[in-house]
Structure 1
Amino acid sequence: MNAALAEGAEFRPGQVTGIMRDANGTTATGVEVDGGIVEADAVAIAMGPWSLLAAQWMSLPAVYGQRSPSIVYDTGTDAPADALFLEYEENGSAVSIEVFPRADGSTHITALSDIAPLPLDPAAVTPDHDAIARLQTMSERLSPLFRSERIIARQACFRPVTQDGLPLIGKVPQSEGLYVATGHNVWGILNAPATGEAMAQLIAEGATRNVDISPFDPARLAPLDPSLLQAR
């Protein structure tokens, strides 16, 4: 964000409530934000599992949210800068666990997942207490660095998942000036740089030069019926 701002980007916090279109209704011209209008040459939907909400305004396949707990530890300079993808044996079965040391001296550990309702407000996402307890036990068995007094945060996130497991990257069907980049599941942190580069090229130049995004074309999946998003 800071790098984008340094290059002249403007950060406009607010809730998007609709897409502005031209007189023909085929080309996006901006977004409605908190009752106002932000004009734009292109609009990119990149809201993780909350990209589902954009199906109210455009032809988009469904994006589902899968909840995963995580614990952040204060490890300082004690943890080497190597991400670990491990198989942890628990009650005779293997559980995938991921360990991500960060440049700020913290280490992020995540494993397990469950199905839970996606809150409309991302700030309302909370972890399952039992899942956090299991993850803490697993973490403490991995290394003495992961002690309870070093815990900075117990949290959860919702990972965006599509029907066929592949992300949605490209132009939104039946519209001009609309783009989407979401649905990376657990690989968003790995694929975000390549996705961002491909999206920038697609929007600015009309095609990608370095990455073939045709397998991720949103048109490959049926669009979600917007009526399914109505409050019940």
Structure 2
Amino acid sequence: MGDYIYLHGFASSPQSYKGQCLHSHLETVGIDLRLPDLNQGDFNHLTLTRQINQITQQLQGPTTLIGSSLGGLVAAWVAEQSAAIERLVLLAPAFDFLQQWLPRLGQTQLQQWQSTGWLSVYHYGLKAQQRLHYDFLTDAQRYADHQLQRSLPTLILHGTQDDVIALDASQRYAQTRPWVTLHPLDTDHGMANAMGEIADAVADFCHL
């Protein structure tokens, strides 16, 4: 059956609603979903590379990765680099992440981030403002979605009402990768009203 690991999103935690809900659902079919903390006690120096390395080092054998938002992007890169990943389930994955996120910051805030080295971000897991180092941006710029080309079973579930990561990003990703199945859902980025449907889709996709 292999291992199952859930990767939470940006400025979130293993206690996120999606992660805990999926943990409970999968527990009923005998799956112990692992929920690592991608913050590693140091959100201030978070980078995509650090998250990818963290998960890659934790792999113990054949693994199904379930990733939400930025965690979905991390999952895709882990799968690109490790043959241990057998399949991916991506919930509103953060493809085109910088192209969608940076315009919301605005040019003034972006310049301040670069000049001071720090950006204030609300962390939903900690329920408090946290500083994020500029290395997060420069590191993320090293990763281009078009380089994700490993063919493996991939299910993407993405809300049609998502105003954080646009559904278009997942549609573009799936269009050029025949191994990807995209299921649009009538929900937003939080996906709270669709967790039953998501749990059923995950169980079906993973043959549980």
Q: Which structure shows the bigger proportion of residues in strand conformation?
A: 1
Using structure 2 for the length normalisation, give the TM-score: 0.32
Q: Which structure shows the bigger proportion of residues in helix conformation?
A: 2
Using structure 1 for the length normalisation, give the TM-score: 0.30
Larger Rg: 1
